[in-house]
A and B are shown apart, each in its own frame.
Chain A
């Protein structure tokens, strides 16, 4: 009896070696270990195809030439199968190995990925005693990454609307995943939180039509939460007391312009596309910061605080 590993390996070898698509019957004749023609063979063949697909082996289904009615044929295009050699040096492979131990990506096992790249190499005595961190994944993550690699459009539901997006970049920061891309509904660049995408991400198959304008932003610092949103861009001015300036500067980063005042306080000018995140940020300063502009937000904030204070609007 031919063992299953042997049968799967032979099936893969035959599919890789053939130029023309082979029907199930052709394959039964060529690969040892299948049951005689009939239902049992078809079950075994379907299971084998599923096993190969789960491994990531790309089987093409094409019509067998000159068949009428058409018959499905199968083959593996070598260019779909073979890993392009990244040309990693031993120290680079070792560095990848250490990185995958230090920064784990939850739920995506990479042992096999390292095997494919040439196995585990001597890391020169370096060891990772404990992971530095573990990155959570989101169901939307792998489909979006695949779409970015393939330069394909995606569709998904976000904040109650169906979006068609040219995906550009995935960012992980402050413990969350974000997508940046061109939103065809809005006609502009937008950011999305992956955990707020409703339902599945579909690869619509269409190629992307809008490329990221210019190079990726320089500097690898994270974008603050109020720069990751879907609201119309507004510039806010925030007055922060001297005692809280150091903390504000740390959180605002390089994007905020500063206007120092004689008493040590500073007015920060901040571009905002996520009003809610910005309100949370400025309330974090309690009474040590004041929103100066825009006037409309200032009024909204006062109304918000009055509601919390329990006074009616106009209370004084």
Chain B
């Protein structure tokens, strides 16, 4: 990361720094450097090149004039051609709009706040109505629930929740210590200590059906990544939404090419690949209803060819299908 910046790297920041100094004359070197994330030395090195830039015949009146006064204030004159920054590239415009629109989609965000105004202005300068061109939705959740979970995480306090486990198809009461709330693949998750499990767990926020702050401090504070609190590393900071355990049962499926996505969507080990695109993969099964739903959904695209710790794996999907079919035969 600390490698020497290339000429184009330096040029990118010079083309942004010059217009800012032109528009804000007399600001201290220190202030300008901080604003652009540079050391004072780096900024001075850049300015040492800038005053050599200009138009032919490169006489003093055709060169950019950089002046640093006795108090360290910087002024730039005669830089008309660099008086405005370079346009945002489409990728940069997209990234800024997507970040802003995504954050505004978080339940409970201010629809008329500074970010919303910034998004409107930025969209207008890019020539798009931001509502028309882009819509980033991070996930459904109740603003109140997100807010209470975040507050509890900040305070290190316990909360009582009623949680519906989709995978196990059951609901239950738990006491948890929220550690972190994050969005992934279109849903909100809570990474927390679960007192019932006596271990850390990841919960889907939209399956928390009831929430009650207990107001009691927890004995299980959030672990900082490598001991550093919040250094903003990876998004899930080492947390994966799904963590298989050693003794979880496993099922072996033969998948047609149309069902090959399964090995990307779930933790799976591919055991065989045949020339016609079929593959055999082993999947971890954390809950029977999850496997039933997967097999029902895949239908003829998947076949159970083996298992470990699931005596009736071969019959599961057939029985689930029969249960559903009974409704249709009566109706």
User: Does B297 interact with chain A (Cβ within 8 Å)?
Assistant: yes
Q: Which residues on the B side are within 8 Å of A25 (C-beta)?
A: none
Taking CB atoms and an 8 Å cut-off, the chain B residues in 1-52 that contact chain A are: 7-8, 10-17, 20, 34-37, 49-50, 52
Once the chains bind, are A132 and B137 in contact (CB under 8 Å)?
Answer: no
CA distance A298 to B200 in the complex (A): 43
B84 at interface (Cβ–Cβ under 8 A)?
A: yes
- How many B residues have CB within 8 A of the partner chain? 108
Contact status of A115 and B36, CB under 8 A, knowing A5-B49, A56-B86, A85-B84: yes
Contact status B99-A283, CB under 8 Å: no
Partner-contacting stretch, out of B90-98, B246-254, B266-274, B278-286 = B90-98
B53 and A104 form a contact (CB under 8 A): no
Choose from A96, A121, A145, A283 the contact partner of B90 (Cβ within 8 Å): A145
In the bound complex, do residue B87 and residue A169 qualify as a contact, i.e. CB atoms below 8 Å apart? Answer: no
A307 and B171 CA atoms in complex are apart in Å by 31
Are A17 and B95 in contact, with the CB atoms below 8 A? no
A308 touches B8 (CB 8 A): no
Within 8 Å by CB of B58, from A32, A51, A98, lies: A32
Q: Pick the interface stretch among B68-76, B118-126, B213-221.
A: B118-126
Which secondary structure dominates chain B's binding surface? helix
Indicate if the CB atoms of B299 and A145 lie closer than 8 Å.
no
Contact A286 B37 (CB under 8 A): no
Q: Is B147 in the interface zone, CB < 8 Å from A? A: no
Nearest CB in chain B: distance from A251 CB, A: 9
Q: Which single residue of chain A is at the shortest CB-CB distance from B79?
A: A13
Which of A110, A221, A316 contacts B96 (CB under 8 A)?
Answer: A110
Is A67 in contact with chain B by the CB < 8 A criterion?
no
A80 in the interface (beta carbon within 8 A) = yes
Q: How many angstroms from the CA of A17 to the CA of B56 in the assembled complex?
A: 11
- Most chain B beta-carbon neighbours within 10 Å: one of A113, A286, A308, A316: A308
Chain B positions within 8 Å of A110 at CB level:
92, 95-96, 99
Task: State whether A88 touches B54 (Cβ < 8 A).
Answer: no
Known: A100-B96, A212-B132, A305-B296. A83 touches B53 (CB 8 A): no
Say which residue of B11, B90, B297, B327 sits within 8 Å of A9 (CB atoms): B11
Residues in A neighbouring B232, C-beta threshold 8 A: 101, 128-131
Interface residues on A, range: 35 or more
Q: How far is the CB of B321 from chain A (nearest CB, A)?
A: 4
Which residues of A have CB within 8 Å of B184? 133, 175
Stretch among A134-142, A153-161, A255-263 lining the B interface: A134-142
Cβ-neighbour of A54 out of B8, B82, B299 (below 8 A):
B8
**Minimum C-beta distance from A277 to chain B (A):** 10
Q: When the two chains form their complex, are residues B186 and A173 in contact, meaning their CB atoms are under 8 A apart?
A: yes
A105 in contact with B94 given A55-B8, A120-B37, A309-B325 (CB within 8 Å): yes
Alpha-carbon gap, A160 to B295, bound state (A): 27
The answer to whether B96 and A14 touch across the interface, beta carbons within 8 angstroms, is no
> Are B106 and A132 touching (Cβ within 8 A)?
yes
Q: Mark A160-185, 1 if CB is under 8 A from B, else 0.
A: 00000000111111111000000000
Residues of chain A in range 1-40 having any CB-CB distance to chain B below 8 Å: 2-6, 8-10, 12-14, 16-17, 30, 32
A201 within 8 A of B: no
User: Is B183 on the interface with A (CB-CB < 8 A)?
Assistant: yes
Known: A5-B11, A81-B86, A174-B185. A169 touches B138 (CB 8 A): no
- State whether the Cβ of A280 lies closer than 8 Å to any Cβ in chain B: yes
In the assembly, what is the distance between CA of A8 and CA of B96, in Å? 27
Interface: B173 (CB within 8 A): no
Cβ of A225 to closest chain B Cβ, rounded Å: 10
Contact A306 B325 (CB under 8 A): yes
Say which residue of A4, A10, A103 sits within 8 Å of B98 (CB atoms): A103
* Alpha-carbon distance A88/B181, docked complex (angstroms): 30
Given A13-B54, A250-B206, A308 and B125 touching (CB < 8 A)? no
Q: Say whether B17 contacts A308, CB under 8 Å.
A: no
Given A6-B49, A149-B126, verify A280-B54 contact (CB < 8 Å). Answer: no
Is there contact, CB below 8 Å, between A92 and B128?
no
A229 CA to B268 CA in the complex, in Å?
28
Contact of A112 with B16 in the complex, beta carbons under 8 Å: yes
Query: Is B227 at the interface (CB under 8 A from chain A)?
Result: no
**A86-119 interface code vs B (CB 8 A; 1 in, 0 out):** 1111011111101111111100111111011111
Given contacts A115-B17, A119-B20, A168-B132, 9 further A-B contacts (CB under 8 A): A55-B8, A82-B87, A83-B125, A103-B102, A105-B95, A113-B96, A120-B36, A129-B232, A142-B91
A residues sitting closer than 8 Å to B (CB atoms) are 2-6, 8-10, 12-14, 16-17, 30, 32, 51, 54-58, 80-89, 91-96, 98-105, 108-113, 115-121, 128-135, 141-142, 145-146, 148-149, 168-176, 212, 216, 220-222, 246-247, 250, 279-280, 283-284, 286-287, 290, 292, 298, 301-302, 304-310, 316
Which 3 pairs across A and B sit closest by C-beta, in order of nearness?
A129-B230, A175-B185, A174-B186
- 5 A-B residue pairs with CB within 8 Å: A55-B12, A86-B122, A96-B122, A247-B164, A286-B324
